[in-house]
Structure 1
């Protein structure tokens, strides 16, 4: 009977430790939420360490390429609206035959820009991916020999093409994913 209780208590102890670590990690994330600039500076420093590791070790180009593709995917999700106007236009076209768009007149409904991927989740996913990539550079199994200039050129082409498409989408549906602050109006402007 004691042998049966022992694995259950070991499992319970591991679960308790995992829950404790999870709560501590979430508390750290919650404390870092208002410090946007410091979070991104830390992520940038971590990215510099990763690229320095790849540069000085002269390897792990596949890991760097995969990280670049993943970060590009995150960035595109960060730029896109949660409710895509192109999808709504297609839905409206199928429902009543009229092509819907974002409000352009004073009497139309105001719709604020809501990101598909919020800034905090973007930061958290990017930091986690950079950390995992950095850890991967310490294992030889991930050091696949490739001709890295081809990967760099392919990533640049992919970046240019996807950003061109995203910018065209932003122009077509007239939305800007960034705000610099509250708009200030002078007395002379009307």
Structure 2
């Protein structure tokens, strides 16, 4: 609705609202929204079973949508390839002892003295302390398993991917017809 003083100037409420918004105000509101969302996500951290239960329900809803609608196979395929990638990153260690020689070679490339041999760890290269801390025994050393992708980040990424896939099934533009043997043979 236009006021009497706005009618004379020809400005509507929308244009006056847009003229009052500054970039700083938009950035401030976006930052506040991000903080609120992050706070709610952080409060979910201790509830592992509930989080994964919610994600499982979302995945079942997605699969029901795919099966009952007989479509969006490309979206389903992409989602499960992404979930498999996340799962493999979750299972692999952050520091793999099999790559110790690669780290020694990286020390040489970064300017550490010596050649990339087992003696590089003793010489104190840049990455050599990852597997051989100074003055540590190899046979009695405890090395905890540190995952490449932590469980919480795995859950967040999986849930976001499933929600995005559910959203994609609402639009027919993503329902691309696919001959299913192409999807099966593309992995071999």
Same fold (TM over 0.5): yes
Alignment of 1:104-143 (within 5 A): 105-106=139-140, 109-143=141-175
Change (3 A) 1:27 1:137: same
Partner of 1:84: 96
Match of 2:118 among 85, 98, 109: 98
Change (3 A) 1:60 1:78: same
Change (3 A) 1:105 1:132: same
Structure number, greater radius of gyration: 2
**1:149 positional shift:** 5.4
Q: Distance in 2 between matches of 1:90 and 1:47?
A: 39
Q: Distance in 2 between matches of 1:132 and 1:7?
A: 34
Instruction: Describe the superposition over 1:45-81 as per-residue Cα deviations: whole angstroms up to 9, x where unpaired.
Output: 0000111111111100000000011101101110111
Partner of 1:17: 29
Q: Distance in 1 between matches of 2:138 and 2:160?
A: 40
Partner of 2:69: 57
Provide the alpha-carbon RMSD of the alignment.
3.0
Instruction: Describe the superposition over 1:78-101 as per-residue Cα deviations: whole angstroms up to 9, x where unpaired.
Output: 011111222214334884533998
Question: Gapped runs of 5+ residues in structure 2?
Answer: 1-14, 109-114, 122-130
Change (3 A) 1:40 1:149: farther
Instruction: Describe the superposition over 1:12-52 as per-residue Cα deviations: whole angstroms up to 9, x where unpaired.
Output: 44333322221221111111000011000000000001111
Whether 1:45 and 2:77 are equivalent positions in the alignment is no
User: SS where residue 111 of structure 1 aligns?
Assistant: coil
TM-score, length-normalised on structure 2?
0.69
Change (3 A) 1:78 1:154: farther
Q: Distance in 2 between matches of 1:64 and 1:136?
A: 10
CA contact (8 A) 2:101 2:116 kept: no
Question: Gapped runs of 5+ residues in structure 1?
Answer: 159-190
TM-score, length-normalised on structure 1?
0.68
Q: Distance in 2 between matches of 1:30 and 1:48?
A: 25
Q: Distance in 1 between matches of 2:28 and 2:67?
A: 41
